[in-house]
Amino acid sequence: MSNQQVVEAALEKGNGVLRLAPTWVPRSFCIPGKRIKLHPDDYYSLGLVRGGIDERWLSSTVVADNGPLTPEEEGLSYIVFEHGSATARVLLREAVQLLKDQIVGERLWKEYQRWPMYSKFFDNWGPLPLHVHHGDIHAALVGQRGKPEMYYFPPQLNNHGGTCPFTFLGLNPGTTKSQLRQCLSDFEKGDNKILDISRAYKLRPGTGWDVPPGLLHAPGSLCTYEPQFASDVFAMYQSVMFGGETVPVDLLWKDTPADKIGDLDHLIEVVDWELNTDPDLHSNRYMAPLPAADPELMGQHRYWENWICYKSSIASAKELTVQPGYTVKIKDAAAYGLINLQGYGTINAMPLETPTLIRYGQLTYDEYFVTEQAARKGVIIENLSRADPIVMLKHFGPGNPDLSAGR
């Protein structure tokens, strides 16, 4: 079978729902929090030089930017199709290029010619350094797109809070650009004390944050679900992390054009000043769950769906819960990826399971991609448990019509 035939057969088998293989990503500057169900012996499967695996990427068509040792396809999701005793795999990225709007829908294909977002679990034992993701203007200087992202902290993946369940966001109101410039100038002198001009917020499972491009942020140590645009641009502005780990200076200049290396004013330009010094940052960026449909109607059908990421037009996400023993048909206006966090049953008659422990390289039945046509027609989810609800997270691309319609 050709790759196109494999994808077409997989679409037919799942009535527009495609099974995906787990995609693991290491980070050399991170310590795994060990909450993403990877086997304890496998967190360093790629070797100490690559670092620990503390990310699982979901519905991804973008390669992880992990330096010169990064394999060609790291970060990319594979479609899995079993036929007889054989198992075939095709990159989701290739499937989209082959079948175009049949996968992502006419609207997204016309504008992006690809699946333009991905989500991931970020699972670090401690916080990350204060850093920034570039907007479109500055990302374009290195041939990339800007990176908006959002956070949600799933209760199912946060049995412990790590070492620092607080996230720094933005800058203190009244901070001056000269103060930030001094911190950046001191990067190689030790602790550049950039956290002194930022603000920390306590993280709580079951809530989230919107993090637009240009917003300085130091993610805390909760395991985080992160819908975002398909880009991996960033620059680290903090020199010494909580716990004493140091940040290489090359990460300060990551995704900076060659002719701007050493130009501190360029680094300051990447920062959205109005956004960072917003005195109402909490109310403008914090996200508590919101019902995605009429609560009474959902209760009658024994399911519950919440918007969990909804303050960005570039990506959005829902949390769907189906009660034990019930079957529901859920319609959405756009294509999406999904990851199952709790319970077991079927999705369009295919197995839907929540693994307890996953070996590196093992295939699972917890991650799927739903085409726009299937989403509009409605996906049938059956909960086969007598006691455990099915709980899944669903990540959508830009311009989700349901989000813009307030549904």
Q: How far apart are CA 320 and CA 306, in angstroms?
A: 7
Provide the 8-state DSSP code for 39.
-
Residue 406 is predicted with a pLDDT of: 59
Residue 244's identity, in one-letter code, is G
Q: How far apart are CA 44 and CA 49, in angstroms?
A: 9
**pLDDT band, residue 85 (cuts 50/70/90):** confident
According to DSSP, the residues that pair with 131 across neighbouring strands are: 217, 236
Q: Name the pTM for this structure.
A: 0.94
Residue 268 in contact with residue 184, Cβ under 8 Å?
yes
**Mean pLDDT over residues 287-310, rounded?**
95
Which of residues 404 and 86 earns the better pLDDT score? Answer: 86
* 273: three-class secondary structure by DSSP: helix
pLDDT per residue as tens digits for the range 20-70: 999 999 988 788 999 999 999 999 999 999 999 999 999 999 998 777 888
Distances (CA, A) of 194 to 131, 169, 180: 10, 12, 7
Q: How far apart are CA 169 and CA 131, in angstroms?
A: 10
Distance of CA 102 to the CA centre of its chain: 23
Output phi, psi for 57, to 5 deg. Answer: -90, 145
Residue 277 in contact with residue 215, Cβ under 8 Å?
no
Structure tokens at 347: 């999705």
In the predicted structure, residue 193 carries a pLDDT above the cut 80: yes
Residue 407 is predicted with a pLDDT of: 55
Q: State the chain's mean pLDDT as an integer.
A: 95
Residue 310 in contact with residue 403, Cβ under 8 Å?
yes
Q: How far apart are CA 21 and CA 59, in angstroms?
A: 9
Give the chain's domains with CATH numbers: 27-61+120-287 (2.60.120), 290-404 (2.60.120.10)
According to DSSP, the residues that pair with 248 across neighbouring strands are: none
Residue 380 in contact with residue 331, Cβ under 8 Å?
no
* 8: three-class secondary structure by DSSP: helix
Structure tokens at 229: 């645009």
The CA-to-CA distance between both ends of the chain, in Å, stands at 41
Residue 307 is predicted with a pLDDT of: 97
> Can you count the helices (H) and strands (E) in the chain?
13, 26
* 309: three-class secondary structure by DSSP: strand
Q: Which residues of 74-98 are buried (b: 16+ CB within 10 A; e: fewer)?
A: bbbbbbbbeeeeeebebbbbbbbbb
**pLDDT band, residue 354 (cuts 50/70/90):** very high
Kindly write down the DSSP assignment for every residue of 363-386, as one continuous string.
--SSEEEE-HHHHHH-EEEEE--S
Q: Which residue has the tokens 């990503």?
A: 25
pLDDT per residue as tens digits for the range 220-257: 999 999 999 888 889 999 999 887 889 999 999 999 99
According to DSSP, the residues that pair with 24 across neighbouring strands are: 56
In the predicted structure, residue 263 carries a pLDDT above the cut 70: yes
In the predicted structure, residue 219 carries a pLDDT above the cut 80: yes
Percent share of the chain, pLDDT over 90: 90
pLDDT per residue as tens digits for the range 111-142: 999 999 999 999 999 999 999 999 999 999 99
